[in-house]
Structure 1
Amino acid sequence: MILEVKPDKVLISPRRKKVHLFRQEMEFQQMLLTVQESLSGDEVQDLVFLCSDLLSLKYLSAVSTASELFVLLETRDLLSPEDPSLLLELLKITKRHGLIRNLCLDAHMQTRGQISSYRQLLFELSESITGEDLKNIKFLLIKTLPRKKLEQDITLLQLFVELEKEDLLNENNLDLLQGMIGKINPSLEKIIILYKTKNSEMFHAQETGNISSSAEAEWNNTMPSPLTSHSSVDIMGEQVDRLFLTEAAESIADQSQHLEFNSEIENESVTENLEIQKYEMEGDWRGFCVIINNYDFNACDLPERKGTDIDQKTLVAVFKWLGFDVLTKQDCSREQILKVLIDLGHRDHSRADCVVCCVLSHGRVDGVVGVDGQIVTFKELMNPLQCPTLYQKPKLFFIQACRGTSRQSAVGPQTNRADDMTVSDAAVSSDTIPEAADYLLAMSTVPHHVSYRDPNIGTWFIQSLCSNLQQLVPRGYDLLSILTKVNFDVSRKTCKYDVKKQMPQPEFTLTKRVVFPVPKTCPPLQ
C-alpha cells in the first residue's frame, strides 16, 4: 500500500513577512512617484477635483502636487498597496491609459466606483469646453460670482468649485449649469439632461426600495463618463432624443384627460395670450449684416455665378436702409466662410437688436459650398453666433444656394431651351436648424432641389426678398409674414423658356415676432 505524503504547510517567518510587506510598500510608492512625474499641474488639479467628495476641501485647497494628494488618500485608507483601485479609477477617468499600461496596473481590476457620477459629469464637461466657451461662461456669471474671481485665470473646474461654495451647484441642483451650457454648447446640454433623468430614476428606485446592486451598476454605466470615448456625447444625445419622444408619446393620453377640464379656464385667458410678443428693436442701429458673395469657382470646376453681384448690391442697399452696418466678403473658401462667422460671433452685439448673415453661393442639400468646393453645413454657419451678447436676440440667415440637383416641374408645354438664360446654383451631390432659440434660416429652395439665378437681374429669391422688405416693412409686417409673401411670389415664377419652378423654405426657432422699425429714410430702390 502506498501512503500519500502531504507536505507540511510552509510557514513564513515574521521577518520574511515584514520584508515582503516592505518590498510591496516600496513598489507601491515607486508607482505613485512615477504617476506624480507623469502628471502636469493641470492634471493634478483634475485629480484633486475628482476627489472632492472623498476629502475635505480644507485639505484639498492646499494640495499642489500628486504626492500631497496621495498622502491624504493613504492617510484616510482610500489608497494602499493592497487596494490601488482608486488610483486606477482616477487614471481611467482622466484617460491616462498609456500610464496604466506602463505601470502594469490590471486594467480589469474591479474598481469600487469611489468617484461619483456627478464628479465625472463635471469633469467630462470641462474636457469638452473650449477656451472661448469658458470666456462666455464667465460672462454669463458676471452678476452671479464676484468679478474678482472671474477676472482671475480660473479653470472651469475651479469655477465649478466656486459655484458649489455658493450653493449654486451640486449633484441635485444642475439648473444653473444646464442653462449656461445650453446657451454655449447645446450638444453638451444633453449630457446634463441625461444625468438628471437617470438621477431622478435612481432616487425614485431608492425611495421605493426597488434598486439592486446590479441595477445600480447598470445605471452608473449609462452615465456620461470619461471612461467612454468622446463619441459618447452623440450617443447620449440620441438617448435623450428617444427619451423626449417617449415622454411626449406617453403624455398625450394624460393631456387629453385634462383638456375638457381646462378648456373653460383657457377660454377665459385666451384673449390675453393672443398677442405674440415682438423682439425689442428700439435703437437707431439694428446690428451687423454680413454678406458672403461667392462668384468665382474656377478652383473647383464649378461654374461662375453670374448675376450674384446684382444680388449683393440690392442686399447692401436694403439692409443699410433697415439700419444695419453691412460687411461684404467676396469669394470665400470653406475656411474663410467659417472665419467670417467666427469673427462675427466675436463682435460686441450688446447694443445690437439682431444680426443678419446672407450667403450667396453654390450649395448642396446640407449646406453651402466655398469657392474651394468644400461644404459648410448650415449648423456650422449658425453655431458661431451662439454668443452671450446675442442671447435672446434674433439671428437671421438668408441663404441663396441650391440644395440638390433635382428640378421642380410644373404643368406646361416643353419649349426650346437653347436661349434659356436662367441657371441654377447646384453643386454635384441634413443638417437642420440647431436646438437653440431665436434663429431663422431662410433658404432659397427646399431640400434636394435647385434655385435659379438670372445673370441679368439676379436670383429669384434674393430679389423677391429685397422687394418685399421694401414694400412691407413700412406697413408694419413681421419678417415671417414677409417671407410667406416671398414664398408666394417665387412659387409663381416660371422661366420664359422652360417650366422650371422654385419653392423657398424658411426654418426657424424664433420665439417672438421680428418687426423691423420703419426706416426714417425713403426706400433705396423702386
Structure 2
Amino acid sequence: MTANGDKPLQLYRILYRIAQKLDNTELEDLKFLCTGIISRSTQEEIDSPLKLFMELTKICRITEDDFSFLGDLLRNIGREDLLTQLNEPLQLYRILFGIAKELDNTELEGLKFLCTGIFRRSVLEHIGRPLNLLTELAKTGRITEDDFSFLEILLLEIGRQDLFAELKGAGKFLQEETQKQGLRELAPPFSPEEDMSSYDMSRAPRGVCVIINNIHFEDMAERDGAEGDTDRLRETFDSLGFTVVTFRDLDHAKMVATMKDQGKADHSNYDCFVCVIMSHGTMGKVYSSDDVGIDICELMKPVNAKKCPSLKGKPKLFFIQACQGEKIQRKEGFDHGEYDAKPVPFICHEADFFLGLATVPGYVARRDQDGAPYVHHLAKLLKDFGPTHDLSAIMAMVCDKMNDIHDDKFGWISSNHSTLRKMVVFNAK
C-alpha cells in the first residue's frame, strides 16, 4: 500500500465513520454486491463493514481519489445519506488548499517564524510551501474542522485577515457543493509532492516489545481492572511478529534499568522497537511502583540513535496508558469514576519516534473494571489492521473509538505525538 501526505489517514477516517453506521443486514447486502470482486473464501472471513472496506482498499476499488465504487454500493443498499454526512475532514484540507494558494514565500517565512516552538527547526526547514505548513498544523490538531482560531491568529499576525474572512464563506460553499455532488467530491484537490514510503518490516522477529504494567503502589491507589491489559497487548504484538517481554510493578530503579538495558542491547536484526507503559501518571510523567514520577522522555532516551545505534533510522513506538494531568475532558457535570491520575510538552528532538497517549496532555485517562478502553481498542485495531494499514490510520481509528465511548458527561480523546518519517505497516508474513 502506498500513500502520500495525509490523504490515506483521511480516507480511513471516512471509511471508519461510514462503517460505524452500517448494521449486519447491510453488511450482508454489501458482500453480496461484491460477489465476483471479492472471493467467497475472503468474504466468509469478513464480519464487519470496516473489514469489507479495508479489503476493497487493498484491491483498489476504493482509493483516496475515487470513492465512486463505494458510492454505488451505498446507493444500492439505500444508504445515500452516508454519501455526504461524513465529509468534514477532507473539507478542511480543501479550505486550507484555498488559503495556501494565496500566500507567497515571504508570508510563508513569516508563518514559519510564528510556528517556532511548535515544530522542530528541522521540520520547519523542510517546509517549502504554505500548503505543507498548514497541513502540518492540521495533523498536530492546531487547525481542525471545528476550530480555526489558531489559523486566524497566524493570518492576523502577517496582515492577511482578508483570507480568514474569505475562508468562512469558502468553507460554507465547499460544504454545499460537496453535498450536491456526492461522495466522489470528497477527495482533496491537492497532491503532496512526495510519496511517504514505509519503514522496512521484513525481519522475523519484527523486534522487541516491552510491556510494563504497574498495578500496585506504595501509597497510591491500586489500578484495579488493569490486570488483563498485559495479556491483550502481549497477544497483539506477538501476532505482529514481536518478541514480547512483560514486567509488572517495577520500582523507579527497575523501570530506568529496563529501558537502559534495551538501549544497550543489539537491535541490528530487528526492524522496530515497541514499549507500552501502563501506570498512574501526571503530565509528561509516569509513576513507578514506589510512587516516583519518571519523565516519559527520559524513558525514551535510552533507545535514541545516539545511545542505541542499532535502532538508528528504525521506528521506536511508545504507548502510554496513564493520566497526564488532573483535568477532565468534560462534556457536562462532574465525574465520579476511577482514573489513572495523579504540568511538560512531549517534544522529541529526534526522528523516528512515536508516542501514543491514552489521553491528552493535562487530562486524566479512563480505566474501567475490565481494563483501560484505550488498551482494548489499541490491541484490537493493531491486531486487525496492523499487517495491512499505516499506524497513523490505525491510531485515528483508536481516537474515534475513544470518542465514541458512551458517556453523557465526559469526553475521552486519545492523542499522538510523532516524528516518524515514513509509514509504519507491520506487513503480514
Runs of 4+ in 1 over 3 A off after TM superposition: 244-252, 270-274
Q: Answer yes or no: is the 8 Å Cα contact 1:440–1:507 preserved in 2.
A: yes
**Structure 2 match to 1:371:** 289
**What letter corresponds to residue 500 of structure 1 in structure 2?**
F
8 Å CA contact retained: 2:120, 2:349: no
Partner of 1:117: none
Matched, 1:452 2:342: no
Counterpart CA distance in 1 for 2:315 and 2:373 is 25
Contact 2:355 2:416 in 1 (8 A): yes
- What residue number does 2:215 align with? 295
- 2:297–2:346 CA contact under 8 A, matched in 1: yes
Query: Contact (CA 8 Å) 1:378, 1:431: kept in 2 or not?
Result: no
Match of 1:334 among 252, 260, 263: 252
TM-score by length of 1: 0.44
Q: In the alignment, is the contact (CA less than 8 A) between 2:286 and 2:296 conserved in 1?
A: yes
Relative to structure 1, is the Cα distance of residues 273 and 494 closer, same or farther in structure 2, using a 3 angstrom cutoff?
same
Provide, for residues 309-355 of structure 1, a one-character-per-residue CA deviation record: whole Å limited to 9, x for no partner. Answer: 11101001110111111111110122211111000111110010100
Which residue of structure 2 aligns with residue 281 of structure 1? 201
Go from structure 1 to structure 2 and tell me whether the alpha carbon gap of 1:246 and 1:303 turns closer, same or farther (over 3 Å shift).
Answer: closer
Identical counterparts, % of pairs: 35
State how far apart, in whole Å, the 1-side matches of 2:242 and 2:421 are: 22
1:368 is paired with a residue of what secondary structure? strand
Tell me the residue number matched to 1:175. none
Is the 1:292–1:328 contact (alpha carbons within 8 Å) kept by the matching residues of 2? yes
The Cα offsets for residues 140-195 of structure 1, whole Å up to 9 and x where unpaired, read as xxxxxxxxxxxxxxxxxxxxxxxxxxxxxxxxxxxxxxxxxxxxxxxxxxxxxxxx
Instruction: Report the TM-score, using the length of structure 2 for normalisation.
Output: 0.54
The one of 394, 398, 411 aligned to 1:486 = 398
Trace 1:99-178 onto structure 2 (pairs within 5 A): none
SS in 2 for 1:423: coil
Q: Name the amino acid aligned to 1:484.
A: A
Report the alpha carbon displacement of residue 509 of structure 1 after superposing the two structures with TM.
Answer: 0.3
Please give the secondary structure, in 1, of the residue aligned with 2:228.
helix
Question: Residues 249 and 472 (structure 1 numbering): CA distance in 2 closer, same or farther, change over 3 Å?
Answer: closer
Aligned length: 251
Name the SS for the 1:340 alignment partner: helix
- Residue aligning to 1:346: 264
Tell me how far apart the structure 1 counterparts of residues 123 and 241 of structure 2 sit (CA, whole Å): 42
> What CA deviation, in whole Å up to 9, does each residue of 1:84-115 have, x standing for no partner?
xxxxxxxxxxxxxxxxxxxxxxxxxxxxxxxx
Contact 1:403-1:449 at 8 Å conserved across structures: yes
1:392 aligns with 2:392: no
Distance 1:348 1:465 in 2: 28
CA shift, 1:250, in A, is 12
How far off is 1:407 after superposition?
1.0
1:331–1:250 CA distance, 2 compared to 1 (3 A)? closer
Of 365, 377, 383 in structure 2, the residue corresponding to residue 464 of structure 1 is 377
In the aligned structure 2, how far is the partner of 1:318 from the partner of 1:248? 33
Give the counterpart letter for 1:291 in structure 2.
Answer: I
2:236 to 314, 318, 323: 318
Name the structure 1 match of 2:328: 407
Q: CA 1:445 to 1:271, structure 2 compared with 1: closer, same or farther past 3 Å?
A: closer
Q: Cα gap change, 1:491/1:388 in structure 2, threshold over 3 Å: closer, same or farther?
A: same
Residues 1:354 and 1:424: Cα distance change in structure 2 (over 3 Å)? same
Cα 1:510–1:335 shift into 2, 3 Å: same
- Superposition CA RMSD, Å: 3.0
Pick the aligned partner of 2:409 from 499, 510, 521. Answer: 499
Q: Map 1:126-275; keep pairs closer than 5 Å.
A: 273-275=193-195
Name the CA distance, whole Å, in 2 between partners of 1:302 and 1:481: 35
Distance 1:370 1:477, change over 3 A: same
Residue 479 of structure 1 and its aligned partner are, at CA, apart by: 0.5
Letter in 1 for 2:352: D
2:340 partner amino acid = D
Gaps of 5+ in 2: 1-115, 131-189
> Which structure carries more helix by proportion?
1
Higher relative contact order (CA 8 A, sep 6+): 2
Q: Post-superposition shift, 1:271?
A: 6.8
> 1:508 — aligned with what?
418
The match for 2:339 is 424
**Residue type at the aligned position of 1:409:** R
Deviations 1:225-267 (A, max 9, x none): xxxxxxxxxxxxxxxx89x999999999x988xxxxxxxxxxx
Q: How many Å apart are 1:469 and its aligned residue?
A: 1.1
SS in 2 for 1:318: helix
Q: CA deviation at 1:471?
A: 2.0
For 1:468-518, what per-residue CA distance to the aligned partner results, in whole angstroms no more than 9, with x for missing partners? Answer: 1122224x21011100000010011134xx623211111010000000012
Shift of 1:454: 1.0
